[in-house]
Amino acid sequence: MTDTTLDSLLPSLRELYRDLHAHPELSLQETRTAGIVAARLREQGGWEVTEGVGGTGVVGVLRSGEGPTVLLRADMDALPVLEATGLPYASVARGTDRDGNDVPVMHACGHDMHVTCLLGVTALLAAERDAWRGTVVAVFQPAEEIGRGARDMLDDGFAERFPRPDVCLGQHVGPFPTGVAVTRPGAVMAASDSYRVRLFGRGGHGSTPESTVDPVVLAAAVVMRLQTVVSREVGASQTAVVTVGSIHAGTKENIIADEAELKLNIRSVDPVVRERVLAAVRRIVRAEAEASGSPKEPEFTSLGSFPVTENTDDATATTIDGLRGALGEHGVLVLPQPINGSEDFGLFGKELGVPSVFWHFGGADPAAFAGLDAGTLASRGLPAEIPVNHAPQYAPLQDPTIELGVRAFLAAARTWLGSPE
């Protein structure tokens, strides 16, 4: 690959990124994005393209003689977030969520950048098939945000329909300085469990609370007591997060409702800690309901889960070498502990029984990190003023993030692919 070759692609990739950012689609609804991906792969030439894998997933297979098989993955879905970036290509899209609600839609997690970078990589690999040997399986996955996309693709016969990889590689843009990638061997991202909890009361008039069981007060007690799970039941050297991200009850200020609904998210890395936290959450919710005189047991409904994302040790070392070839010796930081975000990418390696490596690459202005060296960034985390993934203000810089994301992903892939004799 030459700089001129990548340079010639950048105008088209920038245009693609702006288009994807302005037209986000919710999980399991990525039809427009999938159509663009499939068309681009066919235009590049050489790709065997399969659409509709696991719903809206797209898989491209490119062969160049005998050699290793490398899976490269990008996710495509967006989030129900109202964009507040102020970008000229900001999303004004709206969609219908899984509960039938009309919601704003935004690429608040950078999946538009992931698609753009992987399509840059696939274009370069297709243009230079004489420079490498093996097979590339490019996976454009739906529904990562709800933890379903990888599972749906695997359940759609992925292992039987496509070449078995020797390694699975994936990357995610994040609020780190451009030119920096972060990863680690072993657990690199946390497990996640999400639940809807229905709390039951006995409704009535706001003037006579004594004749009711107020589910709003019950919900408030649950929310506050859940804050003690991590602080009092998880060891200081262990990792867990409990978040109540949504609470809904009632319709009017002088009506005591019949029920309240909470949506919870639990993050963990250690399986023993996970079980302890999940048990504590259930115990507290049930105990507070009993203490409030609730007429009915709370109901728990799973909204999805993600496994711990595990990087295979030896494969991670090999991939880091490739990333450093693209980003420089000091461009790759080894994290001291896992990131508490979650991913379903690891299911591909786990289900296919092959090594797996996942890393994050920076999309933020390096000027915002002035005075912070690499060690401080790795150990203490990000400056508070940097917008993070899922925030209404989050958007990676278009330049140089696209170029560096392509370079990093391509270098990692080429580390595993064979060379012509």
Per-residue pLDDT reduced to its tens digit, 115-142:
999 999 999 999 999 999 999 999 999 9
3-class state of residue 331 by DSSP: coil
What CA–CA distance (Å, rounded) separates 146 from 77?
9
**pLDDT for 85:** 97
| Average pLDDT taken over every residue of the chain | 95
* Residues 60 and 47 sit within 8 Å (Cβ to Cβ): yes
Structure tokens at 363: 């999309």
Question: Which residue in the list 30, 83, 145, 166 is annotated as catalytic?
Answer: 145
What CA–CA distance (Å, rounded) separates 256 from 207?
9
Task: Give the per-residue SS3 of 185-249.
Answer: CEEEECEEEEEEEEEECECEECCCHHHCECHHHHHHHHHHHHHHHHHHHCCCCCCEEEEEEEEEE
What CA–CA distance (Å, rounded) separates 330 from 36?
36
Q: Is the dihedral of CA 41, 344, 387, 171 positive or negative?
A: negative
What length does the chain have?
Answer: 421
What CA–CA distance (Å, rounded) separates 305 from 285?
20
Question: Which residue in the list 30, 75, 166, 403 is annotated as catalytic?
Answer: 75
* Long-range contacts of the stretch 11-15 (C-beta < 8 A, 24+): 13/116, 13/117, 13/119, 13/120, 13/402, 13/406, 14/398, 14/399, 14/402
**pLDDT for 347:** 97
**In this predicted model, what pLDDT tens digit does every residue of 153-190 receive, in sequence order?**
999 999 999 999 999 999 999 999 999 999 999 999 99
**pLDDT for 2:** 39
Query: How much of the chain exceeds pLDDT 70, in percent?
Result: 96
Choice among 24-33, 298-307, 379-388, 391-400 with the minimum mean pLDDT:
379-388
Structure tokens at 257: 């409702």
Global pTM?
0.91
Q: Which residues contact 365 (CB under 8 A, 6 or more apart)?
A: 177, 178, 397
75 counts as catalytic: yes
**pLDDT for 368:** 84
Which residue is listed with tokens 């969520």?
A: 97
In the chain the domains, ranked by start, together with CATH numbers, are: 3-189+308-416 (3.40.630.10), 191-306 (3.30.70.360)
* Average confidence (pLDDT) over 246-258: 96
